[in-house]
Amino acid sequence: MANGSMRLDLRNSLRQEPVILTLLTILAVLFFLAVSGLSHIYHTQQQSLGNRWFDRGVTDLNAQRFERAVSDFRTALLYSRDDYSYEFNLAEALIGLKRTDEAYAYLINLWDEEPENGLVNLELARIAAHKHETDKALRYYHNAIYATWSDSDEELERRTTRLELIDYLLGIGARTQAESELIALAANLGDDAAQQLRVADLFARIKDYEHALAEYRLVLASDRNNPAALAGLGMSAFQLSRYDVARRYLEAAAAANPNDSQSAELLKTTELVLRLDPYQRQLSVAERNRIVIEGFAAAGERVKACSPAGGVPEQMPNSSAPNNLAAKRAKWEQMKNQVTEQGLRRNPDLVDAAMDLVFDIERQSNATCGPASGADLALLLIARLHEGN
Amino acid sequence: MDLSTKSQGDALVEEAPAAIGMPVALPRRSRTAFLRSIFSEERFFLILSVFIGVFSGLSVVCFRFAIDWCRIYLLGSGYTLSTSRLLLAPTLAGLVIAVLVIHVFPLARGSGVNQTKAALFIYNGYIPLRTAVGKFITAALAIGSGHSLGPEDPSLQIGASLASAIGRQLHLSRDRMRLIAPVGAAAGLAAAFNAPISAVLFVIEEVIGRWTAGILGSVVLSAVSSVVVMRWFLGSESLFRIPPVELKQPSELIAYAVLGVVGGLASVVFSSGIATLRPRFKALPNWTQYFQPALAGLLIGLIAVLGAPQVMGAGYEYIDEAMHGQFTWQFLAILAGLKIVATLLSFVSGTPGGMFAPTLFIGAMLGAAVGGAEHVLLPHLTGSPGTYALVGMGVLFAGFLRVPMTSVFMVLEVSGNYSIIVPVIVANTFAYVISRKLQPTAIFDILTRQDGLDLPSMEEQREEGILRVEDAMRPVTDPVLKAEETLEQAWQRANANAPEVPKVLLVQLSPTGWSSVTLEELKTMIKEGKNTLTLASVLAGRQVPFLHPDHSLDTALRYVDRWPLVPVVSRADFRQLEGVITQQDVLKRYRDFGEG
């Protein structure tokens, strides 16, 4: 009887709400601990599988087996859906397969997650550039330039990205934008000779020879025999009509790299310019007269070849005065007997008149009969050099 | 303690010591009363809902682990699966599942939604715990081996079953027991979906079918606590990575409407397929039941081997890929079609597993396919494949599962983007209307009827016409008496229209309120010599309740039984009489409605 009453009391006590809630709490904690244990096993396995497939993917990606790499990275993502590097590498593999739309989808997700990630911005910029979406490409390139670059030399990555942007701008003909990017880049350029040389080349490519010259000089400051820098500096000086400087560096370039035919060719022209320019200082009268006679003769050959006697020269497109050349030839014929050593000595004013005619003939011939070469090109360059004097 | 006997708890509070804050040793009876004041049945049920949510959340986490482990060990850990595994895993798993379902867990068959509904409406909230265990094992095996089914509906049933078991242990009242299964169901679904709002809405829209504050509180608490637990272990990421979605041009709504039409038609094909094939498979000889899941598994494996492994399992990772434009629209359309076939095979063969994930898969593929095709035809459309896939998921939810509210909120909750709401509503409406027109009975109702049950159809309940007071009331033709009139005056006015003398007259009290008096009463009081007394004095304390025209006829029925004539007044002015209603009027209207 007493036992029965105790059991009833116990049962009643167990049915009290606080007791029920305490029991439920204990059960919940136990269940929670058990699931925590399972969860640990589960997540460890998921992580291990993810890493294993990711490592395989990286190996395949490095070996350019893009199809397999895509499959590997996708598998890795099954086990860690939001792993940043898994997704990024998958996007890279997709880019390798030229599946840029899919890659873009992954990259844009990564971008949403980390808009300041340099690599992601760069890849997005490349895809946008590939799809001819200029605005987007520029935005992502600029994002990449000012982004954070983990695990690498940030400044180097930024400069490399800017260089890529400049290439892209030049590719789409945005020369002004490219020039401003180049100036910004040059201002932040470190001691990396390769990048300095690249920047100098780009300045030369956009015909900003002053900046190019300065950059080539920086390269030579750290590597005085760099053939590319020597050639580039010589060419830039040549374009700036600084023929003395050009000759010095072009000679050095030709010596440093005998296979550099372009520099050799420029050197020849430079030497001709320096030899055929009668307005150089410190020339004796005899020497000057000899140069004038040589130039006059060369112009005569050019005008004869371009405008045969009595014939109408073959007209170049956009040539406004085809028959002018015949008049020049007539004038040349008229002056031919006066432009002699004796005639020039007797009449020093004839030097200017003769050279004016020479320059006119070269300009006209260049416009009418096609690009000049050799002595004609040199005379043309001399004409440009003294234009306005 | 039987919680069903505790409804007087509040009255016992008065027995608590008056000197609050004093260190008084409570007598035993007072202590009980004090505890009961804290743990009233309502509050206790709410606390219990949190525990149900926690237990359901933990169970669903285990269920997810089990599915993943089954997939890794049965199909392999890679993205590309070997042919032999693709064919063998679902086939052999099908054989094991068939044996388990036939001999050990007969109630584990099917999706689980209808079983939970049956528990609510037929079995007083009773779902055996064995069902949860069976569902857990067989569904994990089925989904993990590649059967085209999802984990949400089984999670719903596991949650409901756990809740039911807890309720039974605590000897809850019958009413509470009926409610506890949906509370667990919401918890299970919320954890599986990682979307508490959608889970709550689904359970209320499809399982319970009514909104009350009591139910809503418990369901919300359990859903939220289960989601918290699930996120603790599995992270808070949604099921899919949602790409940026937006609607730039309103004219694009036409494109989404087209998606709604296509989705509506696909829903009809899908539900008709189940409605037609399921009874035929069930009618096959009993011994074939052992081989039906295996055969379904073999055919699904064959589809996978032939180039569409995406149809296997729940397929969330492929929904994710479709959302990010990683398939062509043609392939997406093929995948949608093949998924319908694969899910039909899995479901009609009696393999335990849910319909939610396949529905989402088909919707996403169809949406992205329609979006892609529309882009080819109209390149200026700005919606991304992800946007169309998201809307497509909602479309199939609305068209196939026929839960219009849940379908909208599911997309919003999953995407976390409210700018998509207009396309979702437009597309879902088209899908829902088309599906209802071509397939009048919703899929869950078809399934219950095929199982020989007659559960209330939530869709039919929603659509049911409600009779209102305005449908039965009649205009006031008899004189309305004033409270200040004497009995004599009242008698004269009542008899003014003789011989059509009314039996009951309304009396307007001042400043507001109504009363009534019968002709017989008037006659008696006049005979007693009270003819100079006013109506107000004789009818004091005899107020008649009034109704409004929009009140339901069910409400009116409660009053017309006690009062012979009930005034129907305007909501704007209680003194303005719109009509009157009697018991006869109500019954006549019900009779007419039944005949109609």
DSSP for A212-264 reads: HHHHHHHHHHH-TT-HHHHHHHHHHHHHTT-HHHHHHHHHHHHHH-TT-HHHH
Q: Which residue of A has its CA nearest to B315?
A: A78
Residue pair B367/B388 in contact (Cβ under 8 Å)? The answer is yes
- Nearest in space to A149 (alpha carbons), one of A159, A135, A139: A159
Collect all residues of chain B within an 8 Å Cβ-Cβ radius of residue A105.
243, 324-326, 386
What element of type H or E holds A366?
A: helix A350-369
Are B307 and B116 a contacting pair, CB within 8 Å? no
Provide the 3-class DSSP secondary structure of residue B262: helix
Q: How buried is residue B596: exposed, middle or buried, by Cβ count under 10 Å (0-12/13-18/19+)?
A: exposed
Report the gap between the CA of B234 and the closest CA in chain A (Å).
8
Query: CA-CA distance, A318 to B392, in Å (whole number)?
Result: 63
The pLDDT assigned to A186 comes to 81
Is B399 in contact with B266 (CB distance < 8 Å)? yes
**Shortest Cα distance from B233 to chain A (angstroms)?**
7
Q: Residue B54: its chain A contacts at CB < 8 A?
A: 28, 31-32
CB within 8 Å: A28 and B54: yes
Which pLDDT value is given to residue A13?
54
pLDDT (tens, 9 = 90+) of chain A, 389 residues, equals 455 655 655 556 556 778 888 899 999 999 999 999 999 999 999 999 999 999 999 999 999 999 999 999 989 988 887 788 898 999 999 999 888 888 887 888 888 888 888 889 999 999 999 888 889 999 999 999 888 887 667 788 888 898 899 989 988 888 888 888 888 888 777 777 788 888 888 888 888 888 888 888 888 888 888 888 888 988 898 888 888 888 888 888 888 888 888 888 888 888 888 887 888 777 787 888 888 888 888 888 877 777 665 444 444 444 444 557 777 777 887 777 777 777 777 877 887 888 888 888 878 777 777 777 787 888 888 878 777 65
In Å, what is the CA distance from B121 to each residue of B5, B177, B188, B208? 23, 11, 19, 9
User: Mutual orientation of helices A324-336 and A350-369 as an angle, nearest 10°?
Assistant: 150
pLDDT in tens, B205-232: 888 877 777 788 899 999 999 999 999 9
Interchain pair A71, B79: CB under 8 A: yes
Chain B partners within 8 Å of A25 (Cβ): 51
CB contact (8 A) between residue B61 and residue A18: no
CA of A51: how far to CAs of A66, A86, A362, B100, B571, in Å?
18, 9, 72, 36, 69
Q: C-alpha distances in angstroms, A36 versus A120, A293, B57, B72, B188?
A: 35, 101, 13, 20, 18
Chain B positions in Cβ-Cβ contact with residue A71 (cut-off 8 Å): 78-80
Put simply, whether the predicted model's pTM sits higher than 0.95 gets the answer no
How many other CB atoms are found less than 10 A from the CB of residue B100? Answer: 18
Hey, is the C-beta of B503 within 8 angstroms of any chain A C-beta? no
The string of DSSP codes covering B106-126 is: GGG-S-SHHHHHHHHHTSTT-
Residues of B in contact with A46 (CB under 8 A): 68
Pair A264, A227: CB distance under 8 Å: no
Per-residue confidence (pLDDT) for residue B23, from 0 to 100:
39
The number of CA neighbours under 13 Å toward the Cβ of A95 is: 22
**CB proximity B595 to A under 8 Å:** no
Question: Would you mind telling me the total number of residues written for chain B in this entry?
Answer: 596
Omega cis (within 30) before B511? yes
Q: Which amino acid is at B309?
A: P
Q: Give the number of A-B residue pairs with CB atoms closer than 8 Å.
A: 88
CA–CA distance, B460 with B462 (Å, rounded to integer)? 5
Q: How far apart are CA B302 and CA B324, in angstroms?
A: 27
Residue found under tokens 């003395």: A244
Can you give the pLDDT at residue B12?
32
Q: Domains, chain B, ranges and CATH?
A: 3-35 (no CATH), 41-234 (1.10.3080.10), 250-461 (1.10.3080.10), 469-595 (3.10.580.10)
Cα(B56)–Cα(B227) distance, integer angstroms: 9
- Collapsing DSSP to helix, strand or coil, B577 comes out as strand
Alpha carbon distance B418, B396 (integer Å): 19
B241 contact residues in A (CB cutoff 8 A): 81-82, 109
Asked if the Cβ–Cβ distance from B171 to A15 is below 8 Å, we say yes
Q: Report how far apart, in Å, the C-alpha atoms of A35 and of each of A30, B54, B162, B349 are.
A: 9, 12, 16, 32
Q: Which of A28, A106, A112 sits opposite B55 (nearest CB)?
A: A28
The answer to whether residue B42 neighbours chain A at the CB level (below 8 Å) is no
Distance CA B128, CA B137 (A): 15
Task: Give residue-wise pLDDT tens across range B430-466.
Answer: 999 999 999 988 888 899 888 888 777 777 666 667 7
Dist. CA B117–CA B444, nearest whole Å = 10
- Where does the pLDDT of residue B491 fall: very low under 50, low under 70, confident under 90, or very high at 90 and above? confident
Cβ(B156)–Cβ(B56) below 8 Å: no
Q: Which chain B residues contact residue A18 at CB under 8 A?
A: 35, 39
Which B-chain residues 412-451 have CB contacts (< 8 A) with chain A? none
- A206: three-class secondary structure by DSSP: coil
- Residue contact B39–A18, C-beta within 8 A: yes
CA B546 to CA A3: how far, in whole Å? 61
Q: Would you give the DSSP letter of residue B244?
A: P
Helix, strand, or coil here: B401? helix
Would you say residue B25 has pLDDT above 90?
Answer: no
Least confident of A62-66, B214-218, B262-266, B400-404: B214-218
Query: Tokens 């009668």 label which residue?
Result: A278
Is the Cβ of B1 closer than 8 Å to some Cβ of chain A? yes
Q: Of B214, B112, B209, give the one whose Cα is nearest residue B164.
A: B112
What pLDDT was estimated at residue B596? Answer: 55
Q: Can you tell me the distance from the alpha carbon of B112 to that of B185, in angstroms, rounded to the nearest whole number? A: 9
In what order do the strands lie in the sheet containing B481-482?
A: B481-482, B504-508, B514-518, B543-544
What is the helix (H) or strand (E) element at residue A144, kind and residue range? helix A134-145
Distances (CA, A) of B366 to B137, B321, B325, B585: 31, 13, 13, 53
In this model, does residue B14 exceed pLDDT 60? no
Q: What is the pLDDT of residue B117?
A: 83
Q: Across the interface, do A17 and B51 touch by the CB < 8 Å criterion?
A: no
CB B513 within 8 A of CB B543: yes
- Return the residue of A nearest to B71 by Cα: A78
Phi, psi (degrees; rounded to nearest 5) at A319: -80, 125
C-beta separation of B393 from B363 below 8 A:
yes
The widest CA-to-CA distance across chain A, in whole angstroms, is 156
From chain A, pick out residues whose CB is under 8 angstroms from the CB of B237.
81-82
The residue to which tokens 């990010």 are assigned: B324
- In the numeric block, the tokens 């039409």 are attached to B261
**Smallest CA–CA distance from B39 into chain A, residue:** A17
Q: Return the minimum-mean-pLDDT range out of A226-230, B243-247, B519-523.
A: B243-247
Chain B residues close to A35, C-beta within 8 Å: 58, 61-62, 233
In 10 A of CB A241, how many CB atoms? 15
Helix locations, B439-577, DSSP H: 443-450, 458-463, 469-472, 487-494, 519-527, 535-538, 553-560
Amino acid at B104: V
A86 close contact with B: CB closer than 8 A:
no
Q: Which amino acid is at A308?
A: P
- pLDDT of B102: 93
- Nearest CB partner across the interface for B325, out of A49, A77, A105: A105
**% of chain B residues with pLDDT over 90:** 44
